[in-house]
């Protein structure tokens, strides 16, 4: 089901923060960081290039190596555009801190695997301010910064659908940060299994990749997160927005 009335694929440039720096990882693995400097400067650059969304990740919170909460708050505060916050949001305190930044929505990952009752409760309380990140290797979900196994993708999806989850952010970890192209088959399969909108994440390498994801909008893909390709200057955000404009 198309969720985006414009029929246009939304783009979410990513700023992943580790130890106060904007970084990119390969396969989401700690220790594979390439640093790209100030998260605030990166976010402001995407905003001035015309982004409607920012996908902002606290990698330290995701890996359990601390957090960048103050910096994440500063970046979110500086944005006039919509912000999706991800990374380590696993309890009431972290969720309250994330929502208090004024972000548009938060992305829960590990919690959906380890504390499903809590996730059902916050979905009921906060509706579409909550998305769930389905981070997979094959069809096995991964949690804790993608370091622990968390069950079957489609069983979890069916449970979350029943609980009223508004939206899913689907990442093929094997593709993430590799510039190898998105997993279009996975996106098609997830769209076939749920009527909720899907945000695609991981692997985008070219404008043709974005055009291929945009072809899936009628199936239910609403947006695409773009990280490494923008930092590696494979294309500009302006070119990306133009490529998916209807």
Q: Which residues are the active-site residues?
A: 16, 135
Q: Are the C-beta atoms of residues 3 and 197 closer than 8 Å to each other? A: yes
Residue nearest to ligand LARABZUK (CB): 227
- 62: number of Cβ within 10 Å: 28
Number of H helices, E strands in the chain: 11, 12
CA 218 to chain centroid, in Å, comes to 20
- Per-residue mark of binding to ligand LARABZUK, 183-212 (x: CB under 6 A): ------------------xxxx--------
Please report whether residue 86 would count as binding ligand LARABZUK according to CB under 6 A.
yes
Q: Are the C-beta atoms of residues 43 and 78 closer than 8 Å to each other? A: yes
Please report whether residue 11 would count as binding ligand LARABZUK according to CB under 6 A.
no
* The binder of ligand LARABZUK chosen from 23, 51, 62, 213 (CB under 6 A): 62
**Those residues with Cβ within 8 angstroms of residue 215's Cβ, 6 or more apart along the chain or in another chain:** none
* The binder of ligand LARABZUK chosen from 16, 33, 60, 209 (CB under 6 A): 16
d(CA 116, CA 121): 9
- Determine phi and psi for 134, rounding to 5 degrees: -105, 100
- By CB under 6 A, which span of 42-50, 75-83, 111-119, 222-230 interacts with ligand LARABZUK? 222-230
Please report whether residue 226 would count as binding ligand LARABZUK according to CB under 6 A.
yes
* The binder of ligand LARABZUK chosen from 9, 14, 132, 141 (CB under 6 A): 14
* The binder of ligand LARABZUK chosen from 106, 157, 225, 241 (CB under 6 A): 225
d(CA 51, CA 99): 21
* The binder of ligand LARABZUK chosen from 132, 228, 235, 237 (CB under 6 A): 228
Q: Is 177 left (phi over 0), alpha (psi -120 to 50) or beta?
A: left
- Written as six digits, the tokens of 107 are 């992305």
* The binder of ligand LARABZUK chosen from 36, 46, 53, 146 (CB under 6 A): 146
Please report whether residue 39 would count as binding ligand LARABZUK according to CB under 6 A.
no
* The binder of ligand LARABZUK chosen from 198, 227, 237, 244 (CB under 6 A): 227
Sign, CA dihedral 143-166-5-45, equals negative
Residue 82, burial from CB neighbour count under 10 angstroms (0-12, 13-18, 19+):
middle
Nearer to ligand LARABZUK, 39 or 177 (CB): 177
State the residues that interact with ligand LARABZUK by CB under 6 A: 14, 16, 24-25, 28, 55, 57, 59, 62, 86-87, 109, 133, 145-146, 171, 176-177, 201-204, 225-229
């Amino acid at each position: 089901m198309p969720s985006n009335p414009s029929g246009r694929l939304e783009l979410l440039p990513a700023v992943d923060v580790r130890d106060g720096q904007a970084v990119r990882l390969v396969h989401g693995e700690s220790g594979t960081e390439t640093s790209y400097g100030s998260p605030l400067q990166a976010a402001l650059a995407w905003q001035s290039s015309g982004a409607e969304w920012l996908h902002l990740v606290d990698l330290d919170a995701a890996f359990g190596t601390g957090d960048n909460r103050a910096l994440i708050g500063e970046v979110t505060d500086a944005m006039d555009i919509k912000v999706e916050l991800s990374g380590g949001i696993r309890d009431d305190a972290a969720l309250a801190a994330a929502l208090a930044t004024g972000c548009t929505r938060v992305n829960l990952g590990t919690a959906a695997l380890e504390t499903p009752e809590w996730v059902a409760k916050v979905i009921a309380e906060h509706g579409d301010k909550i998305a769930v990140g389905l981070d997979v290797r094959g069809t096995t979900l991964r949690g804790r910064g993608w370091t622990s196994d968390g069950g079957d993708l489609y069983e979890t999806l069916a449970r979350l659908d029943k609980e009223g989850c508004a939206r899913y952010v689907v990442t093929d970890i094997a593709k993430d940060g590799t510039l190898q192209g998105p997993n279009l088959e996975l996106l098609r399969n997830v769209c076939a299994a749920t009527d909720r909108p899907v945000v695609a994440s991981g692997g985008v390498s070219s404008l043709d990749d974005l055009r291929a994801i945009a072809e899936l909008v009628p199936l239910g893909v609403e947006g695409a997160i773009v990280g490494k390709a923008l930092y590696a200057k494979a294309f500009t955000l302006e070119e990306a927005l133009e490529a998916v404009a209807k």
